[in-house]
Structure formats: structure tokens, C-alpha cells
Amino acid sequence: MIKFNRLTFLILILTLFYFALVGRLFYLQVIKGEYYREISDRNYIKIFYSNPPRGKIYDRNGVLLAYDVPTYSLIAFPYIVKKNYSIQELKENLKNYLNIELDEK
């Protein structure tokens, strides 16, 4: 009978761990890959909320000194845009989509 020493036991445990890790990676990449790709695609658009309004500031005579003004920002990530647009085409598309006038600079 083969002597089952500590080194053999350690090699067996490490081999089992290696195959378990490779099996899990195969499962995540090949079998469930499409599922996680769809989740990743939905993460392209995110809504970021800023802090709530802080309130109005009045002087001692009741004159309004400071107040909150809502602002909006549009951020475009170039690697998400599927088609190569010129700057002018992109400006025109945004103008039509957002119903705003853009500065002609």
C-alpha cells in the first residue's frame, strides 16, 4: 500500500482546488456568459442623484440672497456611441432630441 504522507495530501488538495476553480470559471464564462453580458449591457445608463436642495438664504430684511437652481448635465461616453459622428452631426442630433438651441461656436 502507498504511504499517504503530508506532501501527497497537500498536492491532492491543491489539485482539487485548481479543478474547482477552473470549473467555476468555465461555468461563469461559457455557460452563464450571455446572462452576465446582458446585465453588463444594462449598466451603460445610470442615473446619478445629487444632494437634495439646501434651502434658501435670506438676509435680515427678508431679501432672498441665495437659492437653488436645478441644472442638468449630459455626459456622452465615446466608446458607447456605435456610429462615427462628426461633431456637427452629433450637435444636430442632440439639438433635435433634447429640443434645445445650441450655441454656434
Confidence label for 91 from pLDDT (cuts 50, 70 and 90): confident
**E-assigned strands of the chain?**
57-58, 64-66
Q: Are 64 and 56 in contact (CB under 8 A)?
A: yes
52 near 70, Cβ under 8 Å? Answer: no
* Model confidence pLDDT, tens digit, residues 26-71: 999 999 999 998 888 777 666 667 677 778 899 999 999 998 887 7
If one compares 11 and 76, the residue with the highest pLDDT of the two is: 11
pLDDT in tens, 7-32: 889 999 999 999 999 999 999 999 99
The CA distance from 23 to 13, in Å, is 15
> Is-contact 58 67, C-beta < 8 A?
no
Residue 93 reports pLDDT greater than 80? no
CA nearest 14: which of 2, 3, 6? 6
